[in-house]
Structure 1
Amino acid sequence: MTADGKGLVGHAGVVLLRRLADRIGLTRGLAGVLPSSAASGWRERVGVLVQLAVAIVLGARSVLEAEQLQRHHQGLFGNPVSDSTVRRLLTGLEAPDAA
């Protein structure tokens, strides 16, 4: 490594972070409280939420940036989640009395 920043891999820890979520039980714990379905086209909400959290750690400041990061790191994240899917998930997580 040199001081000029060339040859650095800024997102190298994303795999460890994603696996950490599984290892400490975050993914399993969320699966116990978030609804799921076997319906065609249904995105597993736990995966969407964990992918969003990892994208935020990587620097995403909006759901659109999170989608772009996921698309860039598709080998790590799997299929990217659209910003509209993330918005629906977040809207569904709001407390009923939050309005």
Structure 2
Amino acid sequence: MDTLQTDHGREDPCNIQLSGLDVREPKRFQDDSIWPYFERLRREDPVHYCQDSPYGPYWSITKYRDIIAVDTNHKVFSSEQGVTTVDVPAEHLPPSFKSR
């Protein structure tokens, strides 16, 4: 699938079909280009299921309160089959991820 590029040569997350949006790409975290992807997911699909990924299907929970709800309710949300997290330093978190 072809994607449109932004002025900086990066793909525009708004031009990717939501069903194909995969935020786990490490380079996006390394070059700090991940934030528009998370912004789109928070706006359009805050509990996003990525069916196709080189590492298998996964869920992206992108709103602070939802993350807390998932993280603190181990009876409902289980990682029995494994879980992968990305640890982002607090200083790099956008305001919507910081507790108030």
TM-score grouping bracket, smaller chain normalisation: under 0.3
Higher strand share: 2
Q: TM-score, normalised by structure 2?
A: 0.27
Greater Rg over alpha carbons, structure: 1
Q: TM-score, normalised by structure 1?
A: 0.27
